[in-house]
């Protein structure tokens, strides 16, 4: 039984249990669908046709039709395909079929059919290129379509003029642009600049072939030189046109140069401010780079004076991010007067954030003149009412129990029924049952497009009923409803986590916190960096950890198996905890950013910083938030499970890092 007891929560739990009862006819349809998918895999189309007739009213019936059309795509079946696109217009699988159909038609140059099937709202870049190529090719067959030819070429120019390479399917259209002399020097120069500023050097080099005049050749050479050697911006007489391209390259060079030579950058910036008109955004980017450069190159007093002179600009254009950075520099040096000064210089909207409320309290505690200030106690008590890392730290200061502030989402039965009745939502649920999470997620996104806050709240309850925890958590986030602790922190995969906790001598609530932070309990998750599964394990880490602890593991796809993932992740976290002498702060930072980086940060701080300052100055924003969340989520899970550990152990609190 959860400790968060109130009427709303009990209702939530009751609804979940009721929803898990599956009608017999649905169970039969699910079995037939699984058999049909196996027939598709084996290519038994005749048996599939017979099986399919029994599933006409099953939510995933369109998937069976799609599988057949996609596997046996032929021009002769265009009527069937067009009928599917019409009958299931706007669905995920209709979009997929249209994409495959367009690729097929383009491959064999069936241009009239391609143009008929094309949908501009859904078209990828490659299909946009092929559509305009189709228009161009059709115009060649009819003299009356000369205007269409010109429109197609102009559209092609817009697709060509970007700061990155486009898909190879665009090559034929781009060849037509070149053949029709649409790639002018001016146009090539625009794209050259975009590519250079985007660090797309091979593309920039390729584009130089279109620059024929001495003027553009010299400019390209200069800009490339400036990008590789920003000090070249000192050649003032070569930057006098004040075009947008020139403004961009000057900004680009000054920002890069400031990291190496802030004094030279100040000098050049003083000149260019008099000769060129920069936007507020560009001025802010340059000034920010100069401030950071001055500070990091040892000119703190000059940096602070320059910062103060431009405080309004920087706070307005960067939403106070540079001021936050400056506070962290002061914390790193344990410069409490500096902390207080820069806290006061934060924009008003940031001063109310819990992090800066906490550091305001800490700065007052460090000053003998304010340690007895009655306002300090009141500020600490107010912060302790918050359910977050800083609120929990304030509770520790007061030696009080942490505030959970649980408030369940109110249940609107009518809205719940409406959400479940959405065809895309019904498909998402069935795909989830069949463990086709890629398509389940796609259907969910389509179903939820245009949801109101109240719809999102209902969707969160629906997802909770289906044990689709990541969607319940995300839905509450969309609605910015943070107080339903039951839905936001589910006890998912409890038996697997409990077993892993016992084997590794870890607290189970710590492993729950890890899984909640890493994937929100989405076993199929894969990060852009390649981390996989419930606890986001990298394949290389999985391989070495599994070998060391004799965990059965042969291929990376096993990391999407919760049992394997939890077994490997818990062993790896235990290793990190041992490496860092029981510090969950350091072990969690290493789990997220890697032990090598954590060792670097520890070497830099040299065992002189309190835990909270060390955490606050972690260079990576993601890792800062990660460590805070692991500690905070651990407290929430421990309370859900009826345990009462402190957020930080005594050894973690008093150990200097």
Which residues are the active-site residues?
518
Query: By the 8 A CB rule, do 206 and 166 touch?
Result: no
Tokens of 561: 């198996």
Bridge partners, 562 (sequence order): none
Query: By the 8 A CB rule, do 37 and 60 touch?
Result: no
CA distance 578 to 583: 8
The full DSSP string for 566-604 is HHHHHHHHHHHHHHTTT-HHHHHHHHHH-HHHHHHHHHH
Coil/strand/helix, residue 638: helix
Bridge partners, 251 (sequence order): none
Tokens of 290: 């100069």
Query: By the 8 A CB rule, do 146 and 107 touch?
Result: no
Contacts of 7 (CB under 8 A, 6+ apart): 408
Radius of gyration of the chain (CA): 30
Q: Which letter, b or e, does each residue of 217-254 get, where b requires 16 or more Cβ atoms within 10 Å of its Cβ?
A: eebbebbbbbbeebbbbeeeeebeeeeebbbbbbbbbb
In 3D space, the residue among 286, 277, 220 whose CA is nearest the CA of residue 244 turns out to be 277
Torsion of CA 425, 431, 432, 438, to 10 degrees: -100
CA distance 403 to 420: 34
CA distance 459 to 473: 10
**Phi, psi (deg, nearest 5) at residue 566:** -65, -40
Query: By the 8 A CB rule, do 355 and 390 touch?
Result: yes
Query: By the 8 A CB rule, do 114 and 126 touch?
Result: no
Cα 419 to chain centroid distance, Å, stands at 26
Contacts of 262 (CB under 8 A, 6+ apart): 290, 293, 294, 297, 299
CA distance 181 to 178: 5
Residue with tokens 């890890």: 514
Number of Cα atoms under 13 Å in the Cβ half of residue 187? 15
C-beta neighbour count of 27 within 10 angstroms:
10
CA distance 400 to 195: 57
Query: By the 8 A CB rule, do 381 and 395 touch?
Result: no
Residue 51 to residues 23, 73, 203, 243, Cα–Cα distance (Å): 20, 21, 52, 66
Instruction: Give the per-residue SS3 of 231-250.
Output: HHHHCHHHCCCCCHHHHHHH
Tokens of 274: 């008099």
CA distance 550 to 49: 47
């Amino acid at each position: 039984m959860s400790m968060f007891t109130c009427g709303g929560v009990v209702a939530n739990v009751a609804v979940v249990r009721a929803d898990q009862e599956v009608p017999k006819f649905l169970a039969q349809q699910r079995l037939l669908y699984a058999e049909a998918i196996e027939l598709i895999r084996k290519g038994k189309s005749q048996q599939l046709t017979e099986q399919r007739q029994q599933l006409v009213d099953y939510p995933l019936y369109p998937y069976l039709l799609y599988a057949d059309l996609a596997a046996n795509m032929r021009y002769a079946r265009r009527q069937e395909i067009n009928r599917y696109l019409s009958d299931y217009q706007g669905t995920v699988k209709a979009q997929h079929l249209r994409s495959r159909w367009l690729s097929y038609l383009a491959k064999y140059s069936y241009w009239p059919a391609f143009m008929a099937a094309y949908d501009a709202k859904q078209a990828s870049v490659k299909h946009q290129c092929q559509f305009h190529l189709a228009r161009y090719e059709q115009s060649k067959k009819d003299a009356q379509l000369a205007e269409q030819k010109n429109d197609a070429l102009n559209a092609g120019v817009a697709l060509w003029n970007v700061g990155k390479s486009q898909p190879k399917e665009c090559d034929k259209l781009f060849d037509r642009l070149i053949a029709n002399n649409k790639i002018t020097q001016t146009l090539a120069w625009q794209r050259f600049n975009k590519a250079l500023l985007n660090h797309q050097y091979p593309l920039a080099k390729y584009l130089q072939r279109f620059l024929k005049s001495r003027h553009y050749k010299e400019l390209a050479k200069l800009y490339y030189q400036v990008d590789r050697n920003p000090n070249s911006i000192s050649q003032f007489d070569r930057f006098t046109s004040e075009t947008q391209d020139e403004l961009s390259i000057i900004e680009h060079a000054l920002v890069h140069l400031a990291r190496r030579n802030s004094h030279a950058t100040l000098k050049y910036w003083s000149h260019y401010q008099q000769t060129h008109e920069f936007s507020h955004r560009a001025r802010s980017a340059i000034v920010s780079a100069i401030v950071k450069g001055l500070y990091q190159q040892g000119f703190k007093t000059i940096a602070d004076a320059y910062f103060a002179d431009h405080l309004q600009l920087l706070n307005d254009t960067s939403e106070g991010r540079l001021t936050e950075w400056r506070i962290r520099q002061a914390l790193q040096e344990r410069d409490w007067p500096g902390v207080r000064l820069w806290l006061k210089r934060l924009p008003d909207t940031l001063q109310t954030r819990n992090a800066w409320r906490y550091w305001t309290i800490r700065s007052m505690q460090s000053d003998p003149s304010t340690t007895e200030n009655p306002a300090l106690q009141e500020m600490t008590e107010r912060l302790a009412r918050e359910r977050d890392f800083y609120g929990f730290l304030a509770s520790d200061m007061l030696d009080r129990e942490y505030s959970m502030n649980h408030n369940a989402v109110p249940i609107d039965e009518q809205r719940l029924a409406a959400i479940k009745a959405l065809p895309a939502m019904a498909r998402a649920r069935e795909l989830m049952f069949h463990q086709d999470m890629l398509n389940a997620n796609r259907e969910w996104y389509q179903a939820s497009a245009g949801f109101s806050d109240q719809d999102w709240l209902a969707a969160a309850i629906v997802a909770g009923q289906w044990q689709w925890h990541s969607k319940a958590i995300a839905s509450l986030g969309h609605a910015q409803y943070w107080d339903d602790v039951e839905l936001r922190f589910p006890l998912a995969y409890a038996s697997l986590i409990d077993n892993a906790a016992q084997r590794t001598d870890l607290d189970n609530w710590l492993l729950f916190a890890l899984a909640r932070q890493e994937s929100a309990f989405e076993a199929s998750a894969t990060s852009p960096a390649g981390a996989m599964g419930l606890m986001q394990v990298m394949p290389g880490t999985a391989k070495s950890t599994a070998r060391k602890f004799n965990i059965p593991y042969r291929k990376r796809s096993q990391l999407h198996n919760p049992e394997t993932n939890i077994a490997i992740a818990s062993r790896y976290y235990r290793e990190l905890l041992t490496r860092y002498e029981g510090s969950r702060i350091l072990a969690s930072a290493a789990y997220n950013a890697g032990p090598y980086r954590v060792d670097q940060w520890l070497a830099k701080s040299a065992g002189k910083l309190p835990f909270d300052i060390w955490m606050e100055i972690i260079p990576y924003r993601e890792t800062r938030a990660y460590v805070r969340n692991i500690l905070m989520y651990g407290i929430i899970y421990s309370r859900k499970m009826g345990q009462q550990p402190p957020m930080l152990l005594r050894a973690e609190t008093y150990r200097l890092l």
